[in-house]
A and B are shown apart, each in its own frame.
Chain A
Amino acid sequence: MLALAADFIRRFARNRAALVGFVLVIVVIGIALSAPWLFPRNPLRIVGRPEIWPFTTSRFPLGTDSLGRDIAAMIAYGARTTLLIGLCASLTATIIGISVGATAAFFGGWVDELLMRLTELFQTIPNLIFVLTIVSILGQKIEYVTIAVGIVTWTPIARLTRAEFMSLRDREFVQACRSMGMGNLRIMFGEILPNALPPVIVLSSLVIAGAVLFESAVSFLGLGDPNISSWGRLIGDGRTLIRSSWYICAVPGVAIMLTVLALNLVGDGLNDALNPKLRDR
């Protein structure tokens, strides 16, 4: 196993862009984790004059927003929100997606039909509207936003898992397992899943990026959790001042863009590292 891990790290590191993305993600995680130390007080408190430009005073390195709140503090705490939602939503989506896809592919027949119609149903509902609907029904709390985003992003994972399972199901090593009397569950989880995971992992990393964008959109529209600092909300709050103090939108916007870009680069790197066909090229 150790040899496989070392091999994987080496292949990942070959992709320079992926390394840059990885470093960026680490930086974001670092900021998120160190937020309580860097900015010990509630970031939503008003601490200064409104609309101070970034890089003008050392007290507010990224300036203040329309109400006088420290943007740097909100960015730092916003990183926590972003990562939390991204990870949890992606995890939710992955669990749902793998379960649905694997079950559909393995059992086939009417089970497959049923689950695929269900997947299509979720796919045809416009994503953002669905999230907004769930949030407005359940309430504007961060947990519900997470669940909503998770529910909306599982379908591509399900499809991919199903496709991978179907192609692996008829491989000879699976037939060998059937011919020795191995039970279905053990075949699904012990034999097929470890081989199906790599592309699913890649997709999951991209789903994190998607979740980040969703959350930003929800908060931008003012439907996110009002007690939590969030990048999307910052942008939304700065909407009215975009002509004069456009930095209020730009700074969180850049933060979102860099994070999503970093996640995509990491996803590409994972794809190269986990994809055996690109070995030794």
Chain B
Amino acid sequence: MPLLSVRSLCVQYQGAGGTVRAVDDVSFDLEAGETVGLVGESGCGKSTLGKAVMRLVPSSDGLVILDGQNLTSMQPGVLKAARKNIQMIFQDPYSSLNPRHDIGTIVGQPLSVAGWSRRDIRGRVAELMGQVGLPAEAVRRYPHEFSGGQRQRIGIARALALSPKVIICDEPVSALDVSVRAQVINLLKDLQQATGVAYLFISHDLSVVEHISDRLIVMYLGRIVESGRGEDIWRRPAHPYTHALLAAAPVADPRLARSRNKSVLQGELPSPLNPPPGCSFNTRCPMARERCRVDQPVLRTLADGRMVACHYDLHQQPEALPAVSVAR
């Protein structure tokens, strides 16, 4: 049984102009110790999905099952205990730590809320600081004395405090400098090796997600359009949107960048208040046909285990779109 199971999760909220379906019928599994990457552009719902799994925002439909327990239907008192198994790392290192508390207090908060004794908390905090590579005496200092990368480490230490089984990483390196990103990404991988924690890694940066994920989920306007093993998807995307993302993502290799065919995706993201009828991607899809404007595609399984939400098969009509560079 997978560690985390999300089934038909829906999150909607009332926007200024109507109902917005931020997450629309999303289902996926996360096994123990694996990393599933969640990619998409703004408005695709990936951050909302992460928060909904954490029960930080209410879902309007669907189930979240962690370690056999149904989180969606839990009472607040029981939920508090279940929460120790799933924690979150946030994007902005400058607002994810309370500026008025010292580091020791911040990292020890989950333990304090869970009722640990002060001595035990001190011990565990010292252990965590070592695990994330921060000096022990830093516990008495305040967040503003640390750099962005160091603050992210503090956030990671806080998330690890109760030894959760799942950590949801919401764009953990997007706000960091390139050289610092590598430190944090390597740290996350090391921690996964050491503790066996599973990650749901949310990011808009394809190269980072590609580097760290075993499996991948691609979202567009609240729905999953493709999911499967990372390598399979990068080498041969099965959905036109994934194809477009790969084609658009800048490649840090000048020869490759200029030699490949740049089929730039046209158009703009439709407003989430008014998603297009049928397949939500049909307004920008180079392969769109009549059926796409009417029927919404469901996720179907392909031969290699992947799931795609598209009426047509990109693999069977390779001439429909220029090939993405093979070197991937």
Q: Report A's interface with B, CB cutoff 8 A.
A: 4, 171-173, 175-182, 186, 191, 194-195, 276
Contact = CB atoms under 8 A, between A and B. Distances in A.
A179 B83 contact: yes
Given A191-B98, A195-B100, A181 B80 contact: yes
B87 A180 contact: yes
Contacts of B114: 180-181
Given A172-B90, A172-B91, A172-B92, A179 B97 contact: no
Contact of B109 (A171, A182, A194, A276): A182
A232 B84 CA distance: 61
27 contacts: A4-B142, A172-B92, A172-B95, A172-B96, A173-B97, A173-B98, A175-B56, A175-B88, A176-B88, A176-B90, A178-B56, A179-B54, A179-B56, A179-B87, A179-B88, A180-B83, A180-B109, A180-B113, A180-B114, A181-B80, A181-B113, A181-B114, A182-B109, A182-B113, A186-B113, A191-B98, A276-B144
Contacts of A186: 113
Interface string B87-107: 110111001111110000000
A202 B113 CA distance: 32
Nearest to A193: B100
Contacts of A171: 95
B96 A173 contact: yes
B110 interface: yes
B272 to A, nearest CB: 19
6 tightest Cβ-Cβ pairs between the two chains A and B: A181-B80, A172-B96, A180-B110, A172-B90, A194-B100, A173-B98
Contacts of B91: 172
Nearest to A279: B144
B208 interface: no
Contacts of B97: 173
- The residue in A178, A180, A181, A276 that gathers the most chain B C-beta atoms within 10 A of its C-beta is A180
B215 interface: no
B98 A181 contact: no
Determine the interface band of chain B, counting residues with CB < 8 A from chain A: 20 to 34
Contacts of B51: 175
Interface of B: 51, 54, 56, 79-81, 83-84, 87-88, 90-92, 95-100, 109-110, 113-114, 142, 144, 155, 158, 162
Interface of A is mostly: helix
Nearest to B92: A172
A194 B97 CA distance: 13
Given A4-B142, A173-B96, 14 more contacts: A172-B96, A175-B88, A175-B90, A176-B88, A176-B90, A177-B109, A179-B54, A180-B83, A180-B110, A181-B81, A181-B113, A181-B114, A191-B98, A194-B100
Contacts of B84: 181
A178 B158 CA distance: 13
Contacts of A176: 88, 90, 96, 155, 158
A224 B131 CA distance: 67
Nearest to A180: B110
A173 to B, nearest CB: 5
A13 B129 CA distance: 37
A182 B113 CA distance: 6
A37 B56 CA distance: 62
A181 B100 contact: no
B99 A181 contact: no
A189 to B, nearest CB: 12
Contacts of A173: 95-98
B113 A195 contact: no
Nearest to B109: A180
Given A180-B109, A180-B110, A195 B92 contact: no
A195 B98 contact: yes
Contacts of A191: 98
A21 to B, nearest CB: 26
Contacts of A182: 109, 113
Contact of B83 (A4, A172, A181, A276): A181
Contacts of A177: 109
Contacts of A194: 98, 100
A9 B100 CA distance: 17
A172 B56 CA distance: 11
A171 B96 CA distance: 7
A253 to B, nearest CB: 42
- The residue in B83, B87, B98, B142 that gathers the most chain A C-beta atoms within 10 A of its C-beta is B98
B100 to A, nearest CB: 4
A177 B80 CA distance: 11
A186 B109 CA distance: 11
